[in-house]
Amino acid sequence: MNNEISALTAAIEKYGTSFTDLVVGLSVGSEDLYRISPTGIENDSGVGANPADIIEYIGQVKTALAGTSLSDVLIGHVDTWNSWTNGSNYAVIEAIDWLGVDEYPYFQNTESNSIDDAYSLFWTAYNATSGAAGGKPVWITETGWPVSGKTENLAIPSLANAKTFWDQVGCASAFGKVNTWWYVLQDAAPTTPNPSFGLLGSSANDSTLSTSPLYDLSCPNVTLSLSVSPSSTASGSIATASSGSGTVSTTSRSSTASSPTSTSAGNGASTLIVSSLFLAYAMFAVAALF
């Protein structure tokens, strides 16, 4: 933790606002509450942190940032939706400015989780998180559908299904309404993992990394007639797919997401920017591992 805070403050001192102007928010920790949950322990997901420790780390970060150009940055924590709906973790919600939710219907293998169910599963989880947030904004900090890999119950990885998920959850629903970070620009290099969520595939190095996505990200007209859709208010919208190799992002207007029975999207997320800067319009994550 101390090393990460030192690295952050050193970057602020060295690069100043050319760095800090790119920062949308700081996440103190990532999926730490999930890791100490029964499911996280069963899945051998690694070392987590309890609410009291996360709150202590948040205090350390705020102290370190006092008087810097990031002193007013919005601070949050990223976790799974069912960690946020667990009442024993509410103290973390009280300590942060925004909640980040990582939600993958693909991994919900104890439920009917085919691509046909994915939209409903996703927004049910998001709305449950929003309901537990005490009025604070909920950002989509990770989501996506794998392009290849093993089947999880009814969830089949494929380019076609990944595009369907992008179109329905992203283009027709989240983009322009909820701050969104898509997983992931490039999943791994040079070996393709199982499952793989990468939009650009794998490459031995950055110089040979393609800038052409594996499926169409242009957000063609998509119309949905479903009963579950976003239910929170978000100020500003950034849809971003990020990896250590770069950032694919779409930006659009501020708006309020309601709960219509039919939503549609035209080209609201059709302008794609491929950037070599990992932090361009991306969330800088602090203390992802404690």
For residues 153-161, average pLDDT: 98
Q: What is the pLDDT of residues 14-63, one digit of tens each?
A: 999 999 999 999 999 999 999 999 999 999 999 999 999 999 999 999 99
Q: What was the pLDDT predicted at 238?
A: 47
Whole-structure pTM value: 0.81
Q: What is the pLDDT of residues 122-133, one digit of tens each?
A: 999 999 999 999
4 secondary structure, DSSP code: H
- Residue of 4, 103, 142, 152 with catalytic role: 142
Q: Can 13 be counted among the known catalytic residues?
A: no
Q: Which domain holds residue 238?
A: 2-286
Reading the block at residue 147, the tokens are 């392009």
Q: Taking 60 as the threshold, does the pLDDT of residue 169 lie above it? A: yes
Q: How far apart are alpha carbons 269 and 284 in whole angstroms?
A: 22
Q: Taking 50 as the threshold, does the pLDDT of residue 284 lie above it? A: no
Which spans in 96-181 are helix H? 115-132, 159-165
Q: How confident is the model at residue 166 (pLDDT cuts 50, 70, 90)?
A: very high
Q: Taking 80 as the threshold, does the pLDDT of residue 285 lie above it? A: no
Report which of 141, 140, 58, 143 is spatially closest to residue 93, judged by C-alpha positions.
Answer: 58
CATH of the domain at 208: 3.20.20
Q: Can 94 be counted among the known catalytic residues?
A: no
Q: How far apart are alpha carbons 37 and 45 in whole angstroms?
A: 10
- Residue of 31, 42, 111, 152 with catalytic role: 31
Q: What's the total number of domains in the chain? A: 1
